Amino acid sequence: MGFKLVIVGRPNVGKSTLFNRLIGKRIALVDDQPGVTRDLREGEARYGDLKFTVVDTAGFEFVNEHSFSNHIRRLTASAIKKADVILFLIDARVGVTPFDEEIANLLRKRAISTILGANKAESAVADHGVLDAYRLGLGEPIRLSAEHGLGLSELFNCLQTFARELNKGANSTLSQVGVTVDDENDQLNSQYGSNNRPIQVSIVGRPNAGKSTLFNAILGEERQLTGPEAGITRDAISITVDWAAKDRAATPMRIFDTAGMRKKAKVHEKLEKLSVSDGLRAIKFSEIIIVLLDATISFEQQDLRIADLAQREGRAVVIAVNKWDIVKRKQSHYQNLHEACERLLPQLRGVPLVPISARTRYGLTKLHESILGIYELWNWRAGTAELNRWLACMLEAHPPPAPRGKRIKMRYMTQIKTRPPEFVVMCSAPSQVPDSYNRYLINGLRVDFGLMGVPLRLILRDQGGRNPFKGRKNKLKSSKLKKHLQK
């Protein structure tokens, strides 16, 4: 039995803290300052046989129609429309405020099943606020403490009552999950099958590069807050979508929208540090990383750091150049970007470079094709015989050096894993093989097997060349002697 529970309330009443408590994971950003949450975040909660989706929303405020907070309010209102049950939180220590009364009036008009929760009620100071909540006309308030886990049993009992009244199949599909939900794999396997699980794709880049706009363009709806201001996105939000492109069947992908990443020296606020940390976790959970650049700004040091981080994590990378619609000399600009990419990112030689415009949806088909192409190479596997024939040709064309006149012998090669492709070469004295020869082999793999743009791992392992029977004769003699003495 599944349903959707949406948590609403004014800013700083503990919605994100309760969200984390319900799903059992600390995935929503939490801070003392109000207005931390801006986008909608969903997670899966379980209590016995009760399973439901929890939606964390931004603080509900009644503000000027053209203000930024009004855009946030519209997102929250859209979440309320799709809800089966509303959990309306107030701050019991503060009591009922005029904003709480406005929200209660709005919820009564929508005729949605509503639970009233008085949060931060762990002490006697909150007694007056809990009693004051009765005048909202939403029934008996549940005394809660999201931080300490108090009142959750009463909340779950109330939800079970609502669950019995809801249709079993209504709004039970979980489409958006947090970055660190561990049991999400079982759910995706059951929904898509183990052989057709969604491709995990993260959109990363500097602030104001257009990541949320691209996220919305892929989804085909205004799901994330966007604007000319930098740093609008804070949480790493993901949604599973069947992304269809021209002449291609729809491919299930789980798309992450992350906060902009500035240089570490420029990040001072605690909240921005948490946002960047959330984005870094998204990179570790992903398979494909879209590094989004601003076409009006050439490659900066931070872009290179982000791409190098994705490569070191072993993720496949696609570089997308956004705002292409405002570039005047497109051909020459693309050529300059391509040359800069090859020069500045030699570890990702041949990485796809795709010009796009998230605002006009230009280039999304090409981006879709590049993601599928790099994903296929990222999962590539070669036969051992084929690799050893290739290694023999590489050694013949350019033998390894001979430090102190002693030749390094490379005996055989095999692939030990994919995602990304990782190879082992058994050789003598691997510590004496220079890095330049290691790069020679990796570049040869890229060119000869068409693995352009994919991070590759090459491990040189010492086979030792030792005689496995050396010393065995003495061990046999000693064991026979022991047996003789025991007799």
Q: Are the CB atoms for 112 and 86 separated by under 8 Å?
A: yes
Tokens 């886990």 found at: 149
Residues 161 and 222 both lie in one domain: no
Q: Is residue 467 included in any domain, yes or no?
A: no
The half-sphere exposure of 467 on its side-chain side, counting CA atoms within 13 A, is 5
Of 355, 378, 401, which closes a domain? 378
Most confident of 161-175, 290-304, 468-482: 290-304
Residue 482 counted as domain residue: no
What are 88-125's pLDDT values in tens digits? Answer: 999 999 899 988 888 888 888 776 788 999 999 988 88
Q: Does 81 share its domain with 163?
A: yes
Question: 196 and 111, same structural domain?
Answer: no
Type of residue at 425: V
> Looking at the predicted structure, is the pLDDT value of residue 180 above 60?
no
Partnered with residue 145 across adjacent β-strands are 150
CATH no. for residue 224? 3.40.50.300
Q: 486 in a domain, yes or no?
A: no
Same structural domain, 151 and 273: no
Whether 228 and 350 map to the same domain: the answer is: yes
Whether residues 353 and 277 share a domain: the answer is yes
Host H or E run for residue 255: strand 248-257
Residue 46, pLDDT > 70, answer yes
Distances (CA, A) of 29 to 233, 276, 279, 321, 470: 12, 11, 12, 29, 60
Residue 283 binned pLDDT confidence (cut-offs 50, 70, 90)? confident
What are 242's two structure tokens? 């069947």
Does residue 162 fall inside a structural domain? Answer: yes
Residues 285 and 358 grouped into a single domain: yes
Element (H, E) at 73: helix 68-81
pLDDT in tens, 411-426: 899 999 999 999 999 9
372/407 same-domain check: no
- Clarify whether residues 157 and 46 are in a common domain: yes
Cβ-Cβ contacts under 8 Å for 399 (sequence gap 6 or more): 407
Token pair recorded at residue 271? 């909240």
Question: Same domain, yes or no, for 272 and 358?
Answer: yes
**What is the count of structural domains for the chain?**
3
User: pTM of the entire structure?
Assistant: 0.72
Residues 434 and 452 in one domain: yes
**Mean pLDDT over the full length of the chain:** 80
Give residue-wise pLDDT tens across range 424-442.
Answer: 999 988 888 999 999 999 9
Per the structure, the complete domain to which residue 219 belongs is given by: 184-378
Would 283 be classed as within a structural domain?
Answer: yes
Kindly list the strands in the beta sheet with 237-245, ordered across the sheet, starting from the edge strand earlier in the chain: 176-177, 237-245, 248-257, 199-205, 288-294, 316-322, 353-355
| Candidate ranges 66-80, 271-285, 442-456; pick with highest mean pLDDT | 442-456
The pLDDT, as a whole number, for residue 288 is 94
| pLDDT per residue as tens digits for the range 34-45 | 555 656 778 888
pLDDT classification of 28: cutoffs 50, 70, 90? low
Last residue of a domain, one of 378, 396, 420: 378
Q: Are residues 230 and 100 in the same domain?
A: no
State pLDDT tens for residues 307-339.
Answer: 898 988 999 999 999 999 999 889 999 999 999
State which of 174, 202, 218 marks the end of a domain: 174
Strand partners, 444: none
Element at 422 (helix H, strand E): strand 422-427
279 within domain boundaries: yes
**pLDDT tens, position by position, 119-160:** 999 888 889 989 999 989 888 999 999 888 899 989 988 888
In a domain, 179, yes or no: no
Beta bridge partners of 257: 203, 237
Domain CATH number, residue 397 = 3.30.300.20
